[in-house]
Amino acid sequence: MSERSTPRALVMLLVAASAVVVLAGIKAVNTILGPIVLALVLVVAVAPIRGWLVRRRAPSWLVVAVPFSVVIVVLLGMVAILTTAVVQMATLLPGYSGQFNKLVADAQAWAAARGIAPQVNQALRSFDPGKMLGIAQSLVSSVLGVVSSLFLIVVLLLAMSLDAPVISRIIAAAAAERPAITKALTTFADRTRRYLLVSTIFGLICAALDVVALYVLSVPLPLLWGVLALITNYIPNIGFVIGLVPPALLALLTGGLRSMILVIVAYMVINIVVQSFIQPKFLGDAVGLSTTVTFLSLILWATVLGPLGALLAIPLTLLTRALFIDSDPGLKWSTALVSGELPANRPGS
């Protein structure tokens, strides 16, 4: 009998089925895998500090301690700011019940004057001032949930920081025998660091400008919304909208419709100009992902890993690309589909 090759459609179907099974397994353990990926990305981000210390012949304990300390200070600082601000939010929200009732009454009067009162009243019934306390309590619970997983993240960071120098030497030694996978992992680390660096710089710029605008417009807790703008800057495509909603709603409660419109306009001018016109020129080809792939990766990882998956969507997609596409030189056209760029012509190809 002559040997037959497996039909391509069957191969694609088996790959798709395997991917569904793997993603379902990842979702089942997302509370563990999420912190692992976050710790990995943070260790990769501070690798240049570790490399600088190694080149300066620093003691081995210092090579581990300094990058680990940098990550811990940044992580704990951000959690402390968010925790403090959310606690303030929890005490602030219940005090706006009077303003909320006034907004509801104004909306009902406006609807009655235009003959659409039944529809508006039905929509307003879903908003209960008493729910504002519940929202505040849920925010506190969410922060406490992050703090409870912080211990796991710190332990993972310490373990990975201890192993990082050895892993770096192993990857460098494997370059001769496994050049493709070594290059893929190195490219993943470089692109992840550049993505984080550029996103952080422009996120800080947007956050600072947002805080100034909120101070000028007298919106409560501007620091909280500035930190939120910085964090949501790591979420591709929809991060800007997520960071805009809470301060806009709070501006509506404190200053009315005009204040909310001013907040929306200020955010749009600041964030769209910086993120749409300036940031891409500095980011360049650091990510190596097409716009469609970036958006689909956000949906996929947010579904599988939750909010942490949305924050880590780009690094997770870069890691997946490195392991399954870039490590195989024969998949150059798959790389082109993911990156949106034609592969370079190679002699003899």
How far is C-alpha 210 from the chain's CA centre?
19
Is 80 exceeded by the pLDDT of residue 278? no
pLDDT in the model for residue 349: 42
Q: Do 232 and 242 contact (CB within 8 A), yes or no?
A: yes
At 133, which helix (H) or strand (E)? Answer: helix 131-173
Is 90 exceeded by the pLDDT of residue 256? no
Residue 348 class from Cβ within 10 Å (0-12 exposed, 13-18 middle, 19+ buried)?
A: exposed
Is 80 exceeded by the pLDDT of residue 114? no
> What integer is the mean pLDDT of 291-307?
84
CB within 8 A of 235, min separation 6: which ones?
242, 298, 310, 311, 313
pLDDT band, very low/low/confident/very high, at 119 (cuts 50, 70, 90): low
Residue type, 56: R
d(CA 139, CA 130): 15
At 216, which helix (H) or strand (E)? Answer: helix 179-216
Tell me the CB-side half-sphere exposure of residue 241, using CA atoms within 13 A: 3
Residue-wise pLDDT tens digits, 46-87: 888 888 888 888 888 888 888 899 988 888 877 777 677 667
Q: Do 121 and 108 contact (CB within 8 A), yes or no?
A: yes
Is 50 exceeded by the pLDDT of residue 2? no
> What integer is the mean pLDDT of 254-263?
85
Smallest CA-to-CA distance from 78 within 159, 153, 15 is with: 153
pLDDT in the model for residue 145: 57
pLDDT in the model for residue 1: 43
Residue-wise pLDDT tens digits, 181-232: 888 888 888 888 988 888 888 889 989 999 999 999 888 888 888 888 888 8
How far is C-alpha 189 from the chain's CA centre?
17
pLDDT band, very low/low/confident/very high, at 16 (cuts 50, 70, 90): confident
Tell me how crowded residue 177 is: count the other CB atoms within 10 A of its CB.
8
Is 60 exceeded by the pLDDT of residue 143? no
Residue-wise pLDDT tens digits, 90-100: 677 666 666 66
Is 70 exceeded by the pLDDT of residue 24? yes
Residue-wise pLDDT tens digits, 184-196: 888 888 888 988 8
Whether this prediction's pTM lies above 0.85 is answered by no
Smallest CA-to-CA distance from 205 within 226, 225, 184 is with: 226
